[in-house]
Structure 1
Amino acid sequence: MSGTEHSIAFGPYSAIITARGGALRELQFQGRHLVVTFGPDGEIPDYRGVICAPWPNRLADGTYSYAGRSFGAALNEPERGTALHGLLTGVEWELRGHTADSVTLAGTVEAGQAYPAGLDVAVTYSLSADGLSATVLTRNTGTETAPYGVCPHPYLVAGSSPLDEWTLELPAREFLAVSAERLLPEGIQPVDGHEFDFRTPRRLGAVKIDHAFTGIVRGEGGLAAVRVLDPAGTGVELEWDANWPWVQVHTADKPAGKDRLGLAVEPMTCPPDAFNSGTDLAHLAPGESHEAGWTIRALS
């Protein structure tokens, strides 16, 4: 069940955050949805809005070695033989603070068979005239150094037109090719000449994406943004800071009736299966913290 939830508002913006998974259930601007929502009861579909930690995306076979020890996590994506999106997506997060325009929730990872150390993972969502800003602050509460990665998992909604008609701007020079059956990494490729090149904004059309992108083109202050625009003139932007060298983009291709409802845009501190490849993996020593932030705002 999605369970307890917390509402916040500022000016034309409003949001609902659930204790389950620290998830962004709803974000509206002047009554217009900016993310794909889900109901207050039942399981969270498609990991909508959750915080994925201590690893984002897929961990092959749910296994990895670290500091000479072997670890194994439950395969929550058994059809592909992977452990998907970490250890906290189904956990009830603790309320740490709640005001009219902000809320802080925290999830706890315990040391054990799946992970070498305890973690305190706190997410703060706050609304302002600039939109919804969020920060994940994670501290190693254990006695061992531990690998770490994180990502949020919102599905953006540009407007009422079908996703195929939206215009996408994605400032990435490279993408991570993946295997067809398991969606596990096979190597980095340039977007030049590829259907995934959206550095110049263009219509999404029928292209299907479920890939991690890197080589991010950044602006002032190391910020980067993905933007989607509806033909009617509405849109939404997700901007992230330099602590996220990757971004996963997914066109939410599903069976008929639930197909392509939004565009998942997930800044990631490391790529899929980083616990095995080591690529851009953070290593948190006891007492050490990691912080990263992002913002979702309406475009018009």
Structure 2
Amino acid sequence: MNDPQIEDAGTLPDGRQVQAVWLGAGRLRARVLTLGAIVQDLRMQGYDHPLVLGATDPTRYLTSHRYLGAIVGRFANRIANARFTINGQTHHTDPNFLGRHTLHGGDDGPDLMLWTPLDVSRHSLSLALDLPDGHMGFPGKLSITARISVLDKALQIDLSATSDAATPCSLTHHGYFDLDGRGDIRGHSLQIDADRMLPLDSDQIPTGQVSAVDGTDFDFRKARLLGDTRLDHNFCLSTAPRPLRLVATLEGQNGLRMQVQTTACGLQIYDGAHFQDLPGLDGRIYRAHAGLALETQHWPDAPNRPGFPDAILRPGQTYQEVTQYCFLD
């Protein structure tokens, strides 16, 4: 692969210019945007379809294609009732989910922002973003760095952050994967190394219980077809971040496998049931279940749940998370 060049990728309605760069190593290539640190496209030699869902027009990431392939935060997933308390002070965050809860850090999230490129090589791109104190109601200036790398057969996401005040912090790559290119992931099989998950209430907020998967539709300890199992749930990998380890394997009907390795303590699985005739890469149309999101992160609503793993980043600490999506055939 030739030395990478940052190229123009389109102009947003407010005049902001989006840039892009192709990264590659071995059989794998990825196109990354400065908008939202989005992995717009991912290709593996020997397969004629993209491995992720994406949009050719970056303006779509502001509306219909929101979160696809982006880095989301400052607290990924949901915070109940759009509020939490730290050191006796209650903070009210943007209620952008059902008008009463916070999703992915609020309506003005990092996925909508232009990140600043720090350095680029043939294999990796580092991007930086600062979220000011009080942004979406969260305390502290949060300084985020994302390094997106393409290894021989893996897409690696390195996320780090610091804050000048105690604040919830959970960042994740929100890519949707389709290993077959058939536009329906219900024929994929999934295995997850988790014996517990978080039940949800009618608003998709964790009830506070931590339930065993044994004997339920959420038991993926042995690989099985996704089928019609409705999934938008957190699987409990551990009670604190751990060294990089294998936590899940997704396999398509074509034999291509994707192993997920992460340092995170939670894995949110979402089946993309909301997609409705969205224009995608290579002229594809994304309908319900077009892709599967495997989001490595802290447990949702952790700031309001003392029994959940601690998700508060404090001054002097550095948030760090590494995730690899490894492709094998």
**Same-fold call, TM > 0.5?**
yes
Residue number among 54, 57, 68 corresponding to 1:37 in the alignment: 54
Residue number among 9, 15, 24 corresponding to 1:9 in the alignment: 24
Which secondary structure does the structure 1 equivalent of 2:274 belong to? coil
The alignment status of 1:234 with 2:249, answered yes or no, reads no
The offset of 1:200, in angstroms, is 0.7
Residue number among 152, 176, 199 corresponding to 2:221 in the alignment: 199
Distance 1:85 1:43 in 2: 18
Structure 2: gaps (5+ residues) = 1-11, 278-286
1:8 and 1:127 in contact (8 A); partners too: yes
Partner of 1:151: 172
1:251 and 1:263 in contact (8 A); partners too: yes
Partner of 1:172: 194
Distance 1:230 1:221 in 2: 27
Distance 1:90 1:214 in 2: 29
Which secondary structure does the structure 2 equivalent of 1:3 belong to? strand
The alignment status of 1:85 with 2:104, answered yes or no, reads yes
The offset of 1:240, in angstroms, is 1.0
| Amino acid of the structure 2 residue aligned with 1:96 | L
Partner of 2:316: 287
Distance 1:64 1:4 in 2: 36
Partner of 2:303: 275
| Amino acid of the structure 2 residue aligned with 1:132 | L
Identity of aligned residues (%): 21
Distance 2:293 2:275 in 1: 16
Further displaced range: 121-130 or 208-217: 208-217
How many residues in Structure 1 have an aligned counterpart in Structure 2? Answer: 291
Partner of 1:246: 266
Runs of 4+ in 1 over 3 A off after TM superposition: none
Which secondary structure does the structure 1 equivalent of 2:60 belong to? coil
1:22 and 1:106 in contact (8 A); partners too: no
The offset of 1:80, in angstroms, is 5.3
Which secondary structure does the structure 2 equivalent of 1:197 belong to? coil
2:49 and 2:181 in contact (8 A); partners too: no
The offset of 1:14, in angstroms, is 0.8
Which secondary structure does the structure 2 equivalent of 1:61 belong to? helix
Further displaced range: 150-159 or 197-206: 150-159
The alignment status of 1:22 with 2:37, answered yes or no, reads yes
Structure 1: gaps (5+ residues) = none
TM-score scaled by structure 1?
0.89
TM-score scaled by structure 2?
0.82
